[in-house]
């Protein structure tokens, strides 16, 4: 199998720059807001795509922007869909699932994955392994890229925000897609309670951008730079950076918790958790961007990417509390998290790291209760 990631000659991982960078606004000459016009293509395994799913749910956009989910197994041809003609019996019943938080995948929100031994990489369990591509019958994400640009020559990544009207990719950069979703551009199509949700409030924007910057380079992308390192010296440097910055997050959350204890008293845990976030005292984009790495850390990154100085649950009590608070108390996080897709994708797709394709069962459970 060919490489599924870019690497420099020095053995360091290099992430591809996204190619499609348009936005959606009432002022845009082409991409204007409309209910049902835009479609999101994601992988439940991918932390970058996961950002967009959480934001879509948190902003009440599940009925505005439909969603299709690729198979967890990434082969040499890229991400693929299932064949609807083989799987679909009742089309009317099926279509409603496109507006589910996780695109209709039935194993999302389960907090404990099960045995993987009998699951094959070519498994075609409809609404379990993947969904289909409902608009054009495409079999792969690459088909969407070539439909947008017949000369496209880079990797075929998710997420993809697609325009059904012009039949092209609007944006494939997750950080920009979640900003589009967080803008008020779709407010006329959502319930009033979602109009009040602002994941990047103006008074916190500078802090959010600063937090996101070092978290991205050292934690979000840091685990990949660690796991895909091809030289020991590179690995040792990158894994040290990951844990150095996890320590930084732990200190931020520890101080935040202490301040909330002083404010509400040690016994009022419900009040404390209602303001226990990474930036400010409300849920923000920073929580979403950090969550998608932390929720994968113990189940995958500790063993698969060798990020094994310690685990989140064993070594970082405040990060552990923070991630469990998001998972158990905020449906947008839990309902879009699928530990089966997460574990199967990494352990079956990265054959250079895990050539036997054996998927670890632990930790048990995948996430602990509050």
Assess contact for 312 and 298: CB atoms under 8 A. Answer: yes
d(CA 145, CA 157): 9
- Pick the closest to residue 345 from 355, 362, 335, 359 (CA basis): 359
> Is 46 labeled as catalytic in the residue annotation?
yes
* Contact residues for 168 (Cβ-Cβ < 8 A; gap 6+): 147, 148, 162
Instruction: Name residue, tokens 């060919």.
Output: 2
Assess contact for 181 and 25: CB atoms under 8 A. Answer: no
Assess contact for 50 and 105: CB atoms under 8 A. Answer: no
- Pick the closest to residue 37 from 223, 178, 185 (CA basis): 185
Q: Which of 44, 46, 69, 178 is catalytic?
A: 46
Instruction: Name residue, tokens 């990949």.
Output: 224
DSSP codes of every residue in 210-269: HHHHHHIIIIITHHHHHHT--SHHHHHHHHHHHHHHHHHHHHHHHHHHHHHHHHH-TT-H
Give exposure, 56-91, as e/b (b: 16+ Cβ within 10 Å): bbbbbbbebbbbbbbbbbbbeebbbbbeeeeeeeee
Active site residues: 46
């Amino acid at each position: 199998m060919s490489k599924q990631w870019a690497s420099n000659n020095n053995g360091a991982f290099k992430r591809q720059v996204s190619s499609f960078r348009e936005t959606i606004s009432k002022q845009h000459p082409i991409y204007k807001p409309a209910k049902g016009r835009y479609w999101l293509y994601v992988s439940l395994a991918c932390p970058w795509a996961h950002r967009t799913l959480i934001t879509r749910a948190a902003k009440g956009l599940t009925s505005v922007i439909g969603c299709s989910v690729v198979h967890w197994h990434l082969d040499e041809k890229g991400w693929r869909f299932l064949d609807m003609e083989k799987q679909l019996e009742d089309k009317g019943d099926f279509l409603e699932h496109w507006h589910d938080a996780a695109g209709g995948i039935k194993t999302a929100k389960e907090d404990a994955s099960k045995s993987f031994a009998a699951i094959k990489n070519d498994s075609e369990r409809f609404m379990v392994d993947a969904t289909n591509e409902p608009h054009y019958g495409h079999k792969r994400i690459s088909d969407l890229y070539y439909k947008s640009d017949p000369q496209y020559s880079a990797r075929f990544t998710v997420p993809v925000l697609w325009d059904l009207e012009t039949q092209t990719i609007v944006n494939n950069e997750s950080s920009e897609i979640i900003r589009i979703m967080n803008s008020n551009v779709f407010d006329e199509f959502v319930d009033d309670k979602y109009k009040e949700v602002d994941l990047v409030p103006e008074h916190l924007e500078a802090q959010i951008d600063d937090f996101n910057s070092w978290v991205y380079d050292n934690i979000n992308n840091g685990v990949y730079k660690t796991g895909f390192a091809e030289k020991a010296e590179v690995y040792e440097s990158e894994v040290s950076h990951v844990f150095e910055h996890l320590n930084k997050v732990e200190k931020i959350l520890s101080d935040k918790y202490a301040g909330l204890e002083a404010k509400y008293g040690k016994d009022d845990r419900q009040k404390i958790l209602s303001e226990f976030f990474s930036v400010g005292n409300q849920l923000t984009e920073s929580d979403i961007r950090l969550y998608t790495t932390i929720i994968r850390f113990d189940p995958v990154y500790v063993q698969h990417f060798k990020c094994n100085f310690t685990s989140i649950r064993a070594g970082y009590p405040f990060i552990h509390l923070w991630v469990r608070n998001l998972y158990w108390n905020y449906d947008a996080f839990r309902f879009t998290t699928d530990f089966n897709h997460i574990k199967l994708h990494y352990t079956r797709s990265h054959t250079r790291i895990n050539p036997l394709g054996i998927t670890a069962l632990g930790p048990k459970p995948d996430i602990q209760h509050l």
